[in-house]
Amino acid sequence: MGNSCSNNLGIPPAKGPNAVGCTDFMMDHTAQGTFFRLYYPCQKADTAEKPDWIPSKEYFNGLADFMKINRTLSERIFNYLFGSFKIPALLDAPFKRNGKCPVVIFSHGLGAFRTLYSAICAELASQGFIVASVEHRDESASATFFYREKRESEKADMAPHGSPASAPQNLQQEWMYYRALQHGESEFPLRNKQVKQRAEECVRALDKLIEMNSGIPVENTLRTQFDWATLENSMDLCRIAAVGHSFGGATVIESLCKEVKFKCGVALDAWMFPLDDEIFPRVRQPIFFINSERFQWAGNISRMKKLESAAIQRKMITIRGTVHQSFPDFTFLTGNWIGKLMKLKGEIDPEIAIDLCNRALLAFLQRHLDLEKNFNQWDPLIDGKDKNLIQGTNVTMLQSSI
């Protein structure tokens, strides 16, 4: 995408025993289709390259809209700051079969998109998971795209600007940008409608993986080099979890309510506002809330507490020195001064924070997906037993007992 002032900044490589591959999948080219980035254990491939962290300039435009700054100016700034960073995974590398992989569906936050949580998703893949990071089409992503059939007048131009070479020539790329709240508009109806659509998109992504696992041929609109047939009989469909950040945390809870195939959920600094109160008693799966120290407030914690249960494990920890943006990759890609100015960094070293998050997440998944791994070595983290963790919440006016 361009030059960068990286100064040794970068997304940390995954720490598990497997090399990590990634590829993009779009089923049904319309806005109603499924779009996700897949992370998976891969064979090491000398020819494979790491993909750009920001896939195209339209995502910079979307981030500018979300942050309410000028697109032209912001494209230059974002390209300078972030344009040359790569995701720590090999694009379209061959899948490595080694037993059946548990499955995670990942949901991004408000104003984000499918590539921004690669430090978490790649770590899960390196530990043997297949992870589908959904790009939501509910107008909560800063940007996303789909395709429409070309009009007759457009068919003469076989190489339209902005349309990737991998797309079928009869299709025209269409961009969907973040929809800001209108003046005087009530927020809850919009966010509640969005969280329901997001959960449906997570379930559709899971359904697509189940088809692939069954050997049903799939057609990828994006025509990547990855061989989807290699995923046949590769997934452990008894071991499926939902993970998400912020709005994605609410999406996790909505998804658990909607689909019992999700055996547990992990909500990273969840924004609970979009959810109907009535769904809380209907969620039957274990949930793990991993919070930042600077984002949460009493009203949000009280909604998490509505999920407390004597019969179903509900856990909460807070990572000291973290901010809301300590979970997406941005936190690794800015220096200390600008990172704190833009609230992308807290006081804690970002790599220490993400390691705590990932290890606690893996321990919880082992416990509730009944995995035969060694992630239980990190079980104490689930109960906040680390100098950089708080058991429950730091919101002192409402100490949570979960």
d(CA 22, CA 398): 41
The question of whether 246 is a catalytic residue gets the answer yes
324 tagged catalytic? yes
Rounded Cα distance, 289 and 384, in Å: 11
Does 183 participate in catalysis according to the annotation?
Answer: no
Residue type present at position 115: T
Instruction: Please give the structure tokens belonging to residue 402.
Output: 């979960």
- Sequence-ordered list of residues with C-beta below 8 angstroms from that of 377, at least 6 positions apart, any chain: 363
* 326, 353 Cβ separation under 8 angstroms: yes
- From the list 138, 269, 329, 355, the catalytic residue is 269
* Residue 263 near residue 243 (C-beta atoms within 8 A): no
Q: Which of 107, 126, 234, 246 is catalytic?
A: 246
Which CA distances in Å does 224 have to 79, 97, 139, 179? 25, 20, 25, 29
Q: How far is CA 219 from the centre of its chain?
A: 23
Identify the sign of the CA torsion 65, 89, 52, 226. negative
Query: DSSP per residue over 58-91, as a string?
Result: HHHHHHHHHHT--HHHHHHHHHHHHTT-B-SSEE
Compute φ and ψ for 18, nearest 5 degrees: -100, 140
CA distances for 161 relative to 111, 156, 180, 384, angstroms: 25, 13, 27, 51
Residue whose entry in the numeric block shows the structure tokens 């090491």:
44
DSSP conformation letters of 143-183: EEEEEEEPPGGGTT-SS-TT--TTS-TTEEEEEEE--PPPT
Q: Name the DSSP class of 8.
A: T
Q: Residue 91: what are its φ and ψ, rounded to 5°?
A: -70, 125
Catalytic residue among 136, 245, 324, 368: 324
* β pairing state of 101-107 and 235-245: parallel
Q: What angle do CA 127, 257, 378 make, to 5 degrees?
A: 30
Q: Sheet of 130-134: strands edge to edge?
A: 90-91, 19-27, 34-42, 130-134, 101-107, 235-245, 264-268, 287-292, 314-319, 389-391
- Tell me which residues are annotated as active site: 246, 269, 324
